């Protein structure tokens, strides 16, 4: 059985460039799963540009405003964008991670305890200060994140606890523990640490965006070219067949949850270094839903198997631009979630249509 080719539209009215474009578009639309997402993103960007308006004295000033708006959007979403990348892998294995928001605060709190310049600071207490303290903190926090993710992974693989339950439990435990141990605790993070997020390149505060971009590129490569990346698809698509093909299913899952924890800890470092503190009772609340939404809008199949790192980046951008748009339109904050919900459902509807076509 050969897959039938799309009917050739060119034959009806030959050689007009317009029709060539339409047939190319149709072909892309039905064959490239990321194409419709990209189109949606482009439409959002055009809308956003129009809404921002052209009411500026010069092109230079308009461009300045436009760029600034974009940098704001990207920077505000970098941390969650990184978490969404990890969530993509988790969902591709057929799992889910509800604990990301709580992992964010527990790793964030850990970072702040390590760095605190006051009496409670752990590293300061043993005489490590300055740049070495910052580097050590980054390593320890990332290690902690990886460890927490791995613990969740072990309970899912060895303990055979369903991912939803394991991460739901972890979500409650991590935040509750963090809140208990940080009661009445005011930290002051060293100023140098804030440079991680606020260091300016030229005149632009874009470090979080750069981290996001680098991580996205690395994970894109991992998902396309490495055994680990391809085995994720195999595990999520048909776990039994993967096992019978020599894939160590448990190891793949363990690594995916470990990676998830690691990425969340990076997000925590970005968050803490952006603001200098963290609100342990509210930071990261709903983060899991935003990350899942970004992955789903980006074409990841909730049942596992199919998923795209690039799609998740698009998905995150669509949600981010839409938030910005609603802001520009002056839509009341409580209504914004509704729009997000609509976007998620429409995105999935679009993907269903492609499948049946």
Partner 1 sequence: MKIEMKNIRKSFGSNDVLKDVSFSLEGGEICALLGENGAGKSTLMNILGGVIPMDKGAILVDGEEVDFPTPVQSMEAGIAFIHQELNLINDLPIYENMFLGREIRKKRGSLDLKQMYDKTKEIFEQMNIDLDPGKMVGDLDASYKQIVEICRAMMTNASIIIMDEPTTSLTDTEIERVFAMMKTLKEHNVGIIFISHKLNEVMEICDKYVVLRDGNLVSEGYVTDVTKRDLASFMVGFDVRTESLRRTKDMAEVGKEILRVEGLSDNKHFKDISFTIHEGEIVGVTGLLGDGRSELFLSIFGANPFEQGKIYLEGKEVINKSTYDSINKGIAYLPRNRKENAIIKDMDIFENASIVTWPIFAKRGVINTSKHKQLFEKQRASLRIKMGDMTDSITSLSGGNQQKVVLSKWLSANPKVLILDNPTQGVDVGAKEEIYDTILKLADEGIAVIVLSSEAQEIIRVCDRALVMYHGVIQGEVEGDLMNEQTIMSLATGGELGDEKGVYQK
Which residues make up the interface to partner 1 (CB under 8 A)? 1-3, 225-228, 230-231, 233-234, 236-238, 240-248, 301, 305-306
**Residue 300 beta carbon to partner 1: minimum distance, rounded to whole angstroms:** 11
**In 10 A of CB 103, how many CB atoms?**
32
Measured from the CB atom, is 158 or 200 closer to partner 1? 158
Rounded to 5 degrees, φ, ψ at 185 are -105, 120
Nearer to partner 1 by C-beta: 230 or 285? Answer: 230
Q: Residue 252, exposed/middle/buried by CB under 10 A (0-12, 13-18, 19+)?
A: buried
For 8, the 3-state DSSP assignment is coil
For residue 325, the minimal CB distance to partner 1 (Å) is 33
| Cβ closest to partner 1, residue 247 vs residue 343 | 247
- Token pair, residue 89, equals 């892998």
A 10 A CB-CB count for 36 gives 19
Indicate the DSSP class of residue 267.
Answer: H
CB of 301 to partner 1, least distance (A): 8
State the minimum distance, in angstroms, from the CB of residue 226 to partner 1: 5
**CA–CA gap between residue 261 and residue 257 (Å, rounded):** 6
Q: What is the largest CA-CA distance in the chain?
A: 79
| CB 262 to partner 1: min, Å | 16
Nearer to partner 1, 310 or 320 (CB): 310
CB of residue 209 vs partner 1: minimum separation in angstroms?
Answer: 27
Return d(Cα 197, Cα 210) in angstroms, integer: 10
Phi, psi of 178 (to 5 degrees): -60, -45
86 burial type by CB count under 10 A (0-12 exposed, 13-18 middle, 19+ buried): buried
- Least distance between partner 1 and beta carbon 356 (Å): 15
Task: Give 114 or 256: the residue with its C-beta nearer to partner 1.
Answer: 256
R_g over Cα of the chain: 22
Are 280 and 105 a contacting pair, CB within 8 Å?
yes
The least distance separating partner 1 from the CB of residue 101, rounded to whole angstroms, comes to 29
- Which residue lies nearer to partner 1 by CB, 251 or 336? 251
* Shortest Å, Cβ 304 to partner 1: 8
Q: Which CB, 34 or 45, lies closer to partner 1? A: 34
Q: Are 261 and 103 in contact (CB under 8 A)?
A: yes
Helix (H, G, I), strand (E, B) or coil at 326: helix
Structure tokens at 72: 């704001």
Output 247 or 316, the one with its CB closest to partner 1: 247
Closest to partner 1 by CB, 26 or 243: 243
Measured distance CA(95)–CA(87) in Å, rounded: 9
DSSP letter at 94 equals T
């Amino acid at each position: 059985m050969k897959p039938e080719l799309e009917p050739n539209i060119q034959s009806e009215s030959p050689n007009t460039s317009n029709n060539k474009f339409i047939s190319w578009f149709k072909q892309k639309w039905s064959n490239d799963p990321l194409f419709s997402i990209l189109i949606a993103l482009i439409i959002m960007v055009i809308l956003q540009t129009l809404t921002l308006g052209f009411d500026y004295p010069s092109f230079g000033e308009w461009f300045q405003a436009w760029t600034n708006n974009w940098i704001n959007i990207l920077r505000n979403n970098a941390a969650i964008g990184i978490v969404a990348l990890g969530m993509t892998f988790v969902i591709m294995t057929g799992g889910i991670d509800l604990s990301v928001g709580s992992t964010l605060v527990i790793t964030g709190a850990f970072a702040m305890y390590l760095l605190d310049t006051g009496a409670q600071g752990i590293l300061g207490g043993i005489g490590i200060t300055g740049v070495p303290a910052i580097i050590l903190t980054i390593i320890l926090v990332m290690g902690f994140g990886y460890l927490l993710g791995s613990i969740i992974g072990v309970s899912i693989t060895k303990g055979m606890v369903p991912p939803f339950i394991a991460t739901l439990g972890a979500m409650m435990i991590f935040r509750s523990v963090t809140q208990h141990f940080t009661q009445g605790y005011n930290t002051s993070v060293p100023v140098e640490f804030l440079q991680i997020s606020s260091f300016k390149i030229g005149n632009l505060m874009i470090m979080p965006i750069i981290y996001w971009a680098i991580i996205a590129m690395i994970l894109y490569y991992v998902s396309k070219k490495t055994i680990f990346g391809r085995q994720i698809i195999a595990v999520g698509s048909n776990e039994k067949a993967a096992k019978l093909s020599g894939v160590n299913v448990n190891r793949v899952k363990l690594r995916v949850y470990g990676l998830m924890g690691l990425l969340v800890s990076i997000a925590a470092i970005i968050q803490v270094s952006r603001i200098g503190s963290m609100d342990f009772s509210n930071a990261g609340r709903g983060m899991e839903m935003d990350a899942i939404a970004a992955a789903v809008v980006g074409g990841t199949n909730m049942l596992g198997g199919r998923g795209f790192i690039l799609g998740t980046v698009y998905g995150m951008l669509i949600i981010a631009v839409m938030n910005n748009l609603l802001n520009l339109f002056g839509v009341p904050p409580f209504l914004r979630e509704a729009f997000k919900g609509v976007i998620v459902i429409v995105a999935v509807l679009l993907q269903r249509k492609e499948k049946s076509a």
